[in-house]
Structure formats: C-alpha cells, structure tokens
C-alpha cells in the first residue's frame, strides 16, 4: 500500500510539473514583449554607475526584483481566487500604463531630446565630482530600478495569470513561480552581460589581430545595442498595451479580425500592426491628457500666486 501511494504521489507530481511546463510556455509567449521591455529598462538603470560597481548594483536590483515577485504572486492569486472579475480591469489599467510609457518615451525623444542629453552630461559630471556621495547615488539608482521593476513585474504576473486562469491553483502557482524565476535570472543575467560588453571589447582590443578587431567592434556595438533595446522596448509597450485592449474589448477584437482578413497574405501580421497602432493612439491620448492637466494646474497655481 505504501509503495502504491508513493507511486501515485509521484505520478501526481509528474502530471503537475507537466501541466506547469505547458502553461509556462503559454504564459511566456504572452509576456515575452514585456520581458524584453524589462530588459531594456533595467539595462538603462545602471547608466552613470562606475564600471567596477555595475555588477553589484545589478545584483542588488535583482534581489529587490525577487522580493517584488514574492509580494506580487500571493497578491495575484488572492485576486484570482476572491475577485477574479478584477483581473481584466487590472489588465486594462496595466495596458494603459504601458501605452502611456511608450508614448511618453516617444514624446520625450521628439520634443525633449536636448534636455535628456543635458541630464546625461550632468550625471557624468556628478559621477566625476569627488564631493558627490556615490553610496547615496547608488542607493537612489537601485531604489528607482526596483520601483520600475515592481510595476513591470506586476504586469508580467497579471498577464501570466490571465493566461492560466482556467488552471488549478497549484498549476497557477507553479506557472507564476516559474515565470518569475525566468524573468529574474534571464533579465538580470542578460543585463549583466550587456553592460559588460564594452569591458570585454576593451580587453579583447588590446590583443591585436582579429581578436582585437572583434573587441573594437564590441565597443562600438555596445551603445548601438542599448539604443536598439530601448526602441524594441518602446515598440513592445505599444504592442502589448494595444493587444490587451483589443483582446479585452470584443467589438475591437472582431473589428481587427475583420480588417486582418482583408489583408490576404499579411493576415498573420496585420493584428500585431493594429495592436501597435491602437497602443500608440491610446498612449498619445493619455500623454496629451496629462500634459493638458499639468498645464492647467500650472496656470491655476500661477494665478493663485498672483492673487
């Protein structure tokens, strides 16, 4: 009897792990774009940090990101268990945030690129200034990165949970843990590799010959890679954010499906393009509303000050 019970338990565990594996693949596809954005954002967070301190800072952020997941997973499961109707509104809210973030980045790049350049130069000067408290500077960077990760992690977990809502609680828990572990290890492992590309290139460039030329190529490729990740991350925000709205609002989903059917051989790509355009439009509206609100509040504050 004991042997039969053990075999039955092992069979149940194997079935659970198999279900978790299958559903994790589904959830991973749903969250892939967000993970790419998470990678791009976190790679930018170490800007201005000493080369010797980049890895310790990334490690500190990774630990904070792991804590974020520990907080978010139980919260997501509680929402799923007691107020499952809240998942779709939360997804919509998260989708709106992603659209806003993407549009805000584009707006800043188009209209405030000079201010961004000045900020980077000030950051470099502050880093070279011996009077600057580098410990406080690092802590501020780490806190900001962990806060950003919390927002992105919340979206990743909610989207992953939305992909496995029909599964049992044990499978949901397993999928969320698996996705969280993959995100932390994958994202911060890649971030560590990306920020050290130029260091590797510098070492190889000193060897001369073909290896040296490859090292010089790596040095030149590092900033291009960082910029490329930023562009990919922004596009991913529009695609994911717009996709959340198009799939969450049936009339829009049906409309996009009908439009895609008219494009013939491009039918498989058209929904992605439409999701991206929808996300960009939603983001632009939100940015405009915030900008208008800030301007009105500024005028009201100026008017009160004059009186």
Residues 173 and 27: their CA atoms lie apart, in Å, by: 12
Q: In the prediction, which pLDDT does 286 show?
A: 93
Two structure tokens written together for 51: 């080369």
Closest-CA residue to 48 (of 127, 119, 114): 127
Two structure tokens written together for 31: 């969250």
3-state secondary structure (DSSP) of residue 131: coil
Write the CA distances from 27 to 19, 184, 192, 193, 285, integer angstroms: 12, 15, 25, 25, 29
Q: In the prediction, which pLDDT does 110 show?
A: 81
Q: In the prediction, which pLDDT does 47 show?
A: 58
Domain boundaries, the chain: 7-226
Residues 6 and 100: their CA atoms lie apart, in Å, by: 53
Residues 69 and 124: their CA atoms lie apart, in Å, by: 32
Q: In the prediction, which pLDDT does 285 show?
A: 93
Q: In the prediction, which pLDDT does 196 show?
A: 76
Transcribe 247-283 into DSSP letters: HHSHHHHHHHHHHHHTTGGGTTTHHHHHHHHHHHHHH
Answer yes or no: pTM beyond 0.75.
Answer: no
pLDDT mean values, one per 10 residues, the chain (307 residues): 53 55 61 63 61 76 88 87 82 84 84 59 54 62 77 79 75 83 83 77 79 80 75 79 86 88 82 90 92 76 57
Q: In the prediction, which pLDDT does 39 show?
A: 67
Q: In the prediction, which pLDDT does 253 show?
A: 87
Q: Say how many Å lie between the first and final Cα of the chain, rounded.
A: 87
Two structure tokens written together for 223: 């900033």
Q: In the prediction, which pLDDT does 278 show?
A: 93
Q: In the prediction, which pLDDT does 187 show?
A: 80
């Amino acid at each position: 009897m004991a042997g039969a019970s053990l075999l039955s338990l092992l069979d149940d565990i194997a079935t659970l792990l198999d279900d978790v594996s299958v559903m994790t693949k589904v959830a991973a596809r749903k969250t892939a774009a967000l993970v790419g954005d998470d990678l791009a954002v976190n790679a930018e967070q170490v800007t201005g940090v000493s080369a010797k301190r980049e890895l310790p800072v990334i490690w500190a952020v990774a630990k904070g990101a792991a804590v974020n997941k520990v907080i978010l997973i139980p919260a997501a499961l509680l929402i799923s268990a007691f107020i499952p109707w809240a998942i779709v509104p939360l997804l919509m809210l998260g989708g709106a945030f992603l659209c806003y973030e993407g549009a805000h980045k584009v707006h800043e790049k188009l209209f405030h690129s000079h201010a961004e350049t000045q900020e980077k130069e000030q950051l470099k000067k502050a880093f070279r200034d011996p009077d600057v408290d580098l410990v406080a500077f690092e802590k501020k960077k780490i806190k900001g990165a962990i806060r950003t990760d919390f927002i992105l992690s919340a979206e990743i977990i909610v989207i992953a949970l939305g992909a496995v809502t029909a599964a049992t609680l044990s499978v949901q828990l397993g999928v969320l843990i698996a996705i969280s572990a993959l995100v932390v290890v994958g994202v911060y492992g890649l971030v560590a590799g990306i920020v050290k590309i130029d260091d590797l290139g510098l070492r190889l460039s000193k060897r001369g010959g073909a290896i040296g030329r490859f090292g010089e190529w790596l040095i030149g490729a590092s900033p291009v890679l960082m910029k490329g990740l930023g562009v990919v991350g922004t596009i991913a925000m529009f695609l994911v954010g717009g996709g959340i709205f198009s799939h969450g609002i049936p009339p829009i989903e049906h409309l996009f499906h009908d439009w895609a059917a008219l494009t013939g051989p491009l039918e498989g790509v058209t929904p992605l393009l439409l999701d991206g355009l929808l996300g960009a439009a939603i983001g632009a509206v939100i940015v405009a509303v915030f900008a208008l609100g800030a301007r009105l509040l500024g005028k009201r504050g100026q008017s009160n000050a004059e009186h």
